[in-house]
């Protein structure tokens, strides 16, 4: 069965961090394709600063086309034709009906687990779809992980137990394909301290952070390096 991970977001605008996450997912073999679902309006946000939805969609298409995985990425405008604000569970229902031979999973940022009980029919989402969570800048660093509903049990996360929402327990799994690149990061950090004007060092360290799936740190380094040194 064809597998697709849906990467929801406003993409206002799409940037290198978004693409790094999507490429890493494909490199790890977590799915056949990644679809960027451009959301016209987030029901949990009041934001009048959004770029026009068609412009955001066009930028995602350009970014996907520039990726080395362009054939496995798609900009999806399904929510443009749905009632607004759009809800993830409704979007998934529409996509599942349109593509009956495709298995859909979700990709969300690390701020979402604490908000999940505010989502429409969130139990249905957790019961029927895999949810992959990636760390975001500004949140406590955690490895790329997968959330699964585990009814009636607390979840174990690094030896600690937590519960998300009323009656909702989730077990956190660390992806086994992740490697530590601590020594290389330490070497590059020392080099940056010695030569802080050498922007190529930030690009190199960003790539190591990316491979270690520390996307927040990777994005910080990529944003400090010249565009010419960060093309992938």
65 is in which domain, residue-wise? 2-174
How does pLDDT run across 172-211, given as a tens digit for each residue?
333 323 334 667 888 899 999 999 888 889 888 888 877 6
Q: Is the dihedral of CA 49, 216, 72, 83 positive or negative?
A: negative
Which one-letter DSSP state was computed for residue 70?
Answer: G
Domain CATH for 131: 3.40.50.620
Query: How far apart, in whole angstroms, are the C-alpha atoms of residue 12 and residue 20?
Result: 16
Q: What is the pTM of this model?
A: 0.63
Q: Are residues 188 and 168 in the same domain?
A: no
Peptide bond before residue 104 is cis, with ω within 30 degrees of 0: no
Query: How far apart, in whole angstroms, are the C-alpha atoms of residue 167 and residue 74?
Result: 35
Q: Is the dihedral of CA 93, 99, 104, 108 positive or negative?
A: negative
Q: Are residues 135 and 24 in the same domain?
A: yes
Q: Rounded to 5 degrees, what angle do the CA atoms 73, 226, 62 make?
A: 25
Q: How many domains does the chain have?
A: 2
Q: Of the residues 156, 174, 192, which one is the last residue of a structural domain?
A: 174
Q: Are residues 105 and 124 in the same domain?
A: yes
Q: CA distances (Å), 97 to each of 90, 100, 103, 104, in order?
A: 11, 6, 11, 11
For residues 181 and 51, the model is more confident at 51
How does pLDDT run across 61-115, given as a tens digit for each residue?
999 999 999 999 999 999 999 998 889 999 999 999 999 999 999 998 877 877 8
């Amino acid at each position: 069965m064809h597998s697709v991970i849906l990467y929801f977001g406003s993409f206002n605008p799409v940037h290198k961090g978004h693409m790094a996450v999507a490429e890493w997912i494909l490199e790890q073999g977590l799915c056949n394709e990644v679809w960027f679902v451009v959301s016209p309006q987030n029901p949990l946000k009041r934001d009048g600063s959004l770029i026009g939805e068609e412009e955001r969609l066009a930028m995602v298409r350009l970014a996907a086309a520039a990726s080395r995985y362009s054939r496995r990425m798609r900009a999806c405008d399904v929510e443009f034709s749905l009632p607004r604000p759009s809800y993830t569970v409704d979007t998934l229902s529409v996509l599942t009906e349109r593509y009956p031979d495709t298995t859909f999973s979700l990709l969300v940022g690390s701020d979402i687990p604490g908000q999940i009980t505010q989502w429409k029919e969130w139990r249905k989402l957790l019961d029927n779809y895999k949810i992959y969570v990636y760390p975001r800048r500004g949140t406590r660093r955690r490895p790329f992980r997968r959330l699964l509903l585990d009814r009636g049990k607390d979840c174990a996360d690094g030896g600690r137990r937590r519960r998300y929402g009323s009656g909702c327990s989730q077990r956190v799994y660390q992806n086994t394909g992740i490697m530590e690149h601590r020594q290389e990061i330490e070497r590059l950090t020392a080099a940056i301290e010695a030569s802080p004007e050498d922007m190529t060092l930030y690009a190199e360290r960003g790539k190591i952070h990316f491979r270690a799936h520390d996307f927040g740190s990777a994005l910080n380094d990529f944003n400090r390096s010249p565009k010419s040194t960060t093309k992938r």
